[in-house]
Amino acid sequence: MYAFDFERPTSLSAALKALGREDAQALAGGQTLIPTLKARLAQPSSLVSLSALAELKGVRKDDAGRVCIGATTPHAVVAREAAGDYPALAALAGQIGDPAVRNRGTIGGSLANNDPSACYPAAALASNAMIVTNDREIAADDFFEGMFATALEEGEIITEVRFPVPQAASYLKFEQPASRFALVGAYVAKFADGVRVAITGASEEGVFRWEAAEQALSKDFSAEAVKALAAPAADGMIGDLHGSSEYRAHLVRVMTARAVAAAR
C-alpha cells in the first residue's frame, strides 16, 4: 500500500465535493478497489468512503412497482429484503462470493466497476434497470460500455438502481469455484412486451444481451426454444485456463436454457 488521504463524509453533497478533488476515488464496499490498491494498479491521492451515507442504503418499492436499491446496499441485504418483490434478483445477490463479500460488497460498486464476470450487470441489463446517479438517470442498455467501462463521468456516482419486476425471471451461473465469479451466467427476464436475456462472464466486451435468444423466447418461452439455437460465435468470447472461448460459447446456450427452465 501507499500513503493516501481518507474521508468519510456523512452527506451526498459533501461526498461529491470531496470527489471533485484531483485523483480522488470513491470507496463503496471495497471488494474490488482494495485489492487493486494493494497491487498498485490504482493509486488515488484520496479515498472517499460512501459507507456513512444513509441516503444511499436500503431496498424499497416505488409507485411504479419497481424495486429500488440504494447504491451502497450490501448484497446480503438485497438477498434478504428483495426476496418478496423480486425473488430472482434476491437469489442472484445471495450467490455472490462468500458471506464476507456479501456483507461488504455493494450493488453500486459492482455496477460501476463492471467486471466482465460480475453478476449484477446481468441483472440490470436483463431487467431493463435504470441506473440513477447524482446527476441523471441512465438506462442499463446505455450504461455498460465494455470491459470495466461504463457511461459514468468523472466524479459521478451511482445513488440508486431501479429494477422493473418481470413476470418471470431467473439467473443461473456456472461458477469458477475459486472466485465464485461466473464462468458464464445467464439472466432471463420475461416481460409483457418480450423477453430480455443478459449474459455475463463470457465476452471480452463484458455483459451483453443475447438477441437471438430474446427473439426466440419472446415467441416461445421454453428451454427447447433456446436449445434449438446455434451457440453464439466463439469470436470475442473469453478464453483462459478456466475455459476456452468455444466452451464459453457453448455454456451461453446451456445456462440460458437452464435459466428459462428455472423461470418457468
Q: What are the cell numbers at 48?
A: 472517499
| Total domains present in the chain | 3
Q: What is the CATH number of the domain that holds 15?
A: 3.30.43.10
Residues 154 and 176 in one domain: no
Residues 236 and 258 in one domain: yes
Residues 133 and 195 in one domain: no
Q: Is the pLDDT of residue 4 over 90?
A: no
Residues 58 and 157 in one domain: yes
pLDDT in tens, 138-197: 999 999 999 999 999 988 999 999 999 999 999 999 998 888 889 999 999 999 999 999
Please state, rounded to an integer, the average pLDDT across all residues of the chain.
94
Q: Is the pLDDT of residue 1 over 90?
A: no
For 252, the domain range is: 168-263
Q: What is the CATH number of the domain that holds 117?
A: 3.30.465.10
Tell me, what's the pLDDT at 40?
84
The rounded distance, in Å, linking the Cα atoms of 185 and 117 is 8
The rounded distance, in Å, linking the Cα atoms of 212 and 232 is 9
User: What pLDDT band is residue 32 in, cutting at 50, 70 and 90?
Assistant: confident
Residues 144 and 189 in one domain: no
pLDDT in tens, 7-23: 999 999 999 999 888 88
Q: Is the pLDDT of residue 36 over 90?
A: no
**What's the start-to-end Cα distance of the chain, in Å?**
49
Q: What is the CATH number of the domain that holds 225?
A: 3.30.390.50
The rounded distance, in Å, linking the Cα atoms of 253 and 231 is 6
Residues 79 and 96 in one domain: yes
The rounded distance, in Å, linking the Cα atoms of 144 and 199 is 13
The rounded distance, in Å, linking the Cα atoms of 200 and 134 is 27
Write down which residue in 103, 135, 163 finishes a domain. Answer: 163
Share of the chain above pLDDT 70, in %: 100
Residues 62 and 141 in one domain: yes
Tell me, what's the pLDDT at 226?
97
Residues 159 and 174 in one domain: no
Which residue stretches of 26-74 are H helix? Answer: 33-38
The rounded distance, in Å, linking the Cα atoms of 3 and 105 is 24
Residues 112 and 184 in one domain: no
pLDDT in tens, 83-113: 999 999 999 999 999 999 999 999 999 999 9
pTM over the 0.85 mark: yes
